């Protein structure tokens, strides 16, 4: 049985060679996991979501499949100008249904080229989602926001609708940060940092497993305990 912070030793046994079938919509929030790999390297661009996703797809091409439920969190580190310096606490974190764990374990001991940086991954650590009163996402992108001058006014109701859909009520408290822009190959998308607080244990786990908005495979809308 996999419990909190278990370390999984892996080898090149062929896991992940087959494309998994996605049935995450049928899973309860308790069947989601955070899979973590400690990273070794020097630095990354601050805006690394698109490049990280591309590097991961070279190892796990099925990540680009239709309806893939995987969430890839932004890597944390120490900001230095336009770069993010990796620290002893910098992890790659992928949130996914437990049924995808065997395919994800292939990433252990891999070498990733992200933009102009090289990252080396340790063995995986597998954790159950932890309830938290407050959750934060570095950037949430919702298509309904549009690109007009009053886009934040459009973003608010779209965000509220998603929260009600996931939680079944409108009792959570939401704070928005300053508008951010993320580069995706030849275009950019705008979004906002979002903090959701006042969450009970059930609501917190449900929101973490669902995520918010689009491009969760590029670091957007991944909610982590704050």
Rounded to whole angstroms, what are the CA distances from 156 to 77, 107, 115, 144, 178?
29, 37, 33, 10, 13
Task: Give the pLDDT of residue 209.
Answer: 97
Residue 2 has pLDDT above 50, yes or no: no
Rg (CA), the chain: 17
Asked, colleague to colleague, whether 6-11+21-128 and 134-225 share their fold, the answer is: yes
Query: Do 177 and 171 form a contact (C-beta atoms < 8 A)?
Result: no
- pLDDT of 7 over the 70 cut: no
pLDDT of res. 19? 55
Q: Using alpha carbons, list the distances in angstroms from residue 41 to 11, 88, 219.
A: 22, 10, 19
pLDDT in tens, 134-175: 999 999 999 764 445 548 888 999 999 999 999 999 999 999
The predicted pLDDT at position 162 comes to 96
CA neighbours within 13 Å on the CB side: how many for 45? 12
Domain positions in the chain are: 6-11+21-128, 134-225
CATH number of 6-11+21-128: 3.30.70.1890
The confidence score (pLDDT) of residue 145 equals 43
Give the whole-angstrom CA distance, residue 185 versus residue 170: 36
Contact 16, 106 (CB under 8 A): yes
Tokens in use for 58?
Answer: 């070279």
What is the tens place of the pLDDT at every residue in 88-122? 999 999 999 999 999 999 999 999 999 999 999 99
Q: Give yes or no for a contact between 179 and 192, defined as CB atoms under 8 angstroms apart.
A: yes
**Average pLDDT of span 14-40:** 68
pTM: 0.85
Query: Is the CATH number of domain 134-225 3.30.70.1210?
Result: yes
């Amino acid at each position: 049985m996999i419990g909190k912070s278990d370390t999984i030793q892996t080898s090149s046994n062929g896991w992940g060679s087959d494309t998994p079938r996605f049935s995450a919509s049928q899973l309860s929030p308790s069947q989601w996991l955070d899979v973590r790999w400690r990273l070794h390297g020097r630095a990354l661009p601050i805006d690394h979501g698109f490049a990280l996703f591309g590097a991961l797809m070279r190892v796990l091409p099925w990540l680009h499949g239709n309806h893939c439920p995987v969430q890839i969190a932004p890597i944390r580190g120490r900001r230095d100008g336009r770069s993010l310096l990796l620290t002893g606490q910098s992890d790659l974190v992928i949130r996914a249904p437990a049924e995808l764990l065997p395919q994800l374990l292939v990433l252990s001991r891999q070498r990733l080229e992200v933009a102009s940086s090289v990252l080396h991954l340790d063995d995986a650590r597998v954790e159950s989602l932890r309830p938290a009163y407050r959750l934060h996402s570095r950037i949430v992108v919702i298509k309904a926001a549009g690109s007009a001058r009053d886009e934040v006014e459009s973003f608010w109701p779209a965000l509220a609708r998603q929260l009600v859909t996931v939680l079944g009520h409108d009792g959570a408290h939401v704070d928005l940060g300053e508008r951010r822009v993320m580069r995706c190959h030849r275009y950019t998308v705008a979004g906002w940092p979002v903090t959701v607080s006042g969450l009970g244990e059930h609501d917190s786990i449900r929101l973490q497993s669902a995520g918010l908005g689009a491009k969760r495979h590029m670091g957007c809308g991944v909610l982590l305990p704050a």
